Amino acid sequence: MTERDLLPTRQPRPRTYLMCPPEHYVVEYAINPWMDTTTPVDTALAVKQWDGLRQTMVDLGHTVHVLNPTPGLPDMVFAANGAFVVDGVAYGAKFRYPQRADEAAGHRAFYEARDDYRFVAPTQINEGEGDFAYLPNAHGGIALAGYGFRTEPAAHAEAAEALGRPVISLKLVDPRFYHLDVALAALDDENVTYFPGAFSEASQQVLAQLFPNAVIADEADALAFALNLVSDGHNVVINTESAAYGEKVAAAGYHPVMVELGELKKGGGSIKCCIAELRD
């Protein structure tokens, strides 16, 4: 019997996602360390890469809804930032920077137009799944929430009240990892992967206690946006720059699925930033 034979069997679970095509994607302002207004952006290539990601999710058996993009909102492609949805309740986003503020209305309209979701308008600054992650089978069902750069800690309490779930606050300390979703990701319904150096020492201790079997990423993985991934519990969709990290998740029994999304990295995002999960 080999070591791989002893790994747990990873089972995919069909998911429902929301994505927004990058038809208006450009980098015309800089609100994170990855954005450089002097670097040209190929919008047509971004659309092609985005559609490859959308098709990958469909091919894996998931449902993908598409949010119509709004002219003048180039970052709307990063659909994960528009809300945080748990048990059919959508806790809306309130963006930190004015350049993205109007995106919130498009997301709100999507949820309010559907009978299967209840939208909760935020009063506190938060950027949706950019700074929230949900694990339904971990410790009875908990949300992890980042703060330090974009989302205010007060939004964590507001989310807990809106969703009726415990919310664990984690402090981000490295501006390169300005959102939780570039420093940590859920691999399945009860386990995570993360880069410890993105978090304060106290938050590292919290994560180590909650997730002793986490897949630990290194700095090179995090800088390649490896942790900005989407997983269905078996298939882990990551960008093609993250081959070394793909070997780590494979060693833990998951199946890495590589997708090219380099043009979107110029805006400071990758796989997860483009995909919001809709949890009924």
DSSP 11: -
How far is Cα 26 from Cα 156, in angstroms, rounded to an integer? Answer: 31
User: 61: alpha, beta or left, given left = phi > 0 and alpha = psi -120 to 50?
Assistant: left
User: 247: alpha, beta or left, given left = phi > 0 and alpha = psi -120 to 50?
Assistant: alpha
In the chain, beta strands by DSSP E:
16-19, 63-66, 83-86, 89-92, 118-120, 132-135, 142-147, 167-171, 184-186, 192-194, 215-216, 230-231, 235-239, 255-259, 276-277
In which residue are the tokens 């034979």 written?
5
How far is Cα 224 from Cα 32, in angstroms, rounded to an integer? Answer: 15
Q: Give residues with Cβ within 8 angstroms of 260, minimum separation 6.
A: 49, 52, 239, 240
Q: Catalytic residue at 20?
A: no
∠ CA 68-155-17, nearest 5°, is 30
Residue pair 204/181 in contact by the 8 Å Cβ criterion: no
Q: Of residues 62, 107, 273, 274, which has the active-site annotation?
A: 273
Q: Of residues 107, 179, 234, 255, which has the active-site annotation?
A: 179
Q: Give a three-class secondary structure readout of 105-128.
A: HHHHHHHHCCCCCEEECCCCCECH
Residue pair 86/37 in contact by the 8 Å Cβ criterion: no
Q: Which residues are catalytic?
A: 179, 273
